[in-house]
Amino acid sequence: MKTYVITSFYKFIPVPEYKTLKQSLLKAMKSANVLGTIILAEEGINGSLAGKRKNIDRMISILTEDARFNDIWFKETHSDNMPFEKAKVKLRKEIVTMGVADTDPLKEVGTYVRPEEWNALISAPDVLLIDTRNNYEVGVGTFKGAINPNTPNFRDFPEYVKNNLMDKKDQKIAMCCTGGVRCERSTAYLKKLGFKAVYHLEGGILNYIDSIPENESLWEGKCFVFDERIAV
């Protein structure tokens, strides 16, 4: 058993008093002895934390005392080394930043596809698979046949759509990202633009890697993560 549990999570839900939550969540992280970053915005919460099993369990218990967060999906990986240096809580306009106004995952997103059904979807000849992550992340690893938008940053994704996808609104579009949060926003964006059949991988790449046996996997390479481990 590895020493540290790394849990990643997000939820789009109205948090109008998000600014006042900053100090209480930072205090909770320090009390539970976990490190990492929580991002708060009026539209929800997004975080990645690490600690020993009992400490992560304590932090999850504190977070889920808030009824808005009691159904959050905490996705876990493990490491022998602590991947974070500090405990941080950041305030943002968006919990994942694309910079397009009125792109609201609370209103409409693409169709979720479970890892067990993902292979069949992306293997279909009429499906366009797009990896929504940035160019470096895709270079570390991606799905067989996935399109790399070659974007330096998620903020550049709308420009990619404008230049490459606007004539494909009737085509089936499948999207993937690390833990699922970027796909919530990118599929919401495509639905807002009038794309009819948009899908995304439930729980992201990390959930797929954890769920699908290696001999059945269409994943190639490693998955970039935003901590000192770099890739898993």
pLDDT digits (tens, 9 = 90+) for 62-74: 999 999 999 999 9
Give the Cβ contact number of residue 80 at 10 Å: 8
The string of pLDDT tens digits covering residues 176-191 is: 999 999 999 999 999 9
Give the pairing of strands 141-143 and 197-201.
unpaired
Q: Among 169, 176, 164, 162, which residue's Cα sits nearest to residue 191? A: 169
Instruction: Determine the pLDDT at residue 226.
Output: 59
**Band of pLDDT at residue 18, cut at 50, 70 and 90:** very high
**Active site (catalytic) residues:** 177
Residues 73-117: pLDDT tens digits? 999 989 999 999 999 999 999 999 999 988 889 999 999 999 999
User: 190-200 burial string, b = 16+ CB within 10 Å, else e?
Assistant: bbebebebbbb
Q: What is the C-alpha end-to-end distance of the chain, expressed in Å?
A: 16
pLDDT at 230 over 80: no
Number of Cβ atoms within 10 Å of the Cβ of 69: 17
pLDDT value of position 61: 97
Q: What is the pTM of this model?
A: 0.90
pLDDT of residue 93: 94
Average pLDDT estimate for 137-143: 95
| pLDDT for residue 6 | 95
Domains of the chain: 4-91 (3.30.70.100), 111-221 (3.40.250.10)
Cα 5 from Cα 94, distance rounded (Å): 26
